[in-house]
Amino acid sequence: MGETEHAGSDDASTPMTFGDYLRLHVVWAQEAAGVLADAADLYGRLAERGMPGLADRCDEARRAIAYMEQVAGVNAAQGIAHDEMMAAGGPENSRAYVEYEAMTRRHQELLPKNTLG
C-alpha cells in the first residue's frame, strides 16, 4: 500500500496514497455513471421513435449505471477503511491491519458479480 505520484496533479512530486487512489476511482466511476445516464436517455428517446434494438441498449446502460454506482460506493468505503487503518498506525499496527483486511474482504463481497456480459 505504498504511495504513487498524483495522477493529474500539478505537482507530480506530491505522493498519492492508496486512499487517494481509491477516491480517484470513485470519481471516475461516478463520471462513467453520468455518461451512461446520458446514453440511456438518448437510447430511450430513440427507442420511443421506433429505432429497433435501442430499448435493449437503454436497459443495458441503466444496468451499467447501477454497476458503476455500486463500484463507486464500495471504493469509497474501502478508501475510508484504508484511511482509518493508516490513522491507527498502518500495517505495523497488527490489529488495525487485521480489521482492514476483514473490511476489504467484506467490500469485495459487495462488488458486483455480473460484469454486464
Domain ranges within the chain, ordered by starting residue: 17-110
Residue-level pLDDT at 72: 95
Q: According to the model, what pLDDT value does residue 117 have? A: 61
Q: Which grid coordinates are listed for 42? A: 438518448
Return the SS3 of 39: helix
Rounded to whole angstroms, how far apart are CA atoms 46 and 67?
23
- The whole-number pLDDT of residue 113 equals 79
Please tell me the predicted confidence (pLDDT) of residue 11: 59
- pTM confidence score: 0.77
Burial readout 3-37 (b: 16 or more C-beta within 10 A, e: otherwise): eeebeeeeeeeeebbbbbbbbbbbeebbebbeebe
User: What averages of pLDDT result for each successive group of 10 residues across the chain (117 residues)?
Assistant: 46 82 95 97 96 94 94 94 95 95 91 70
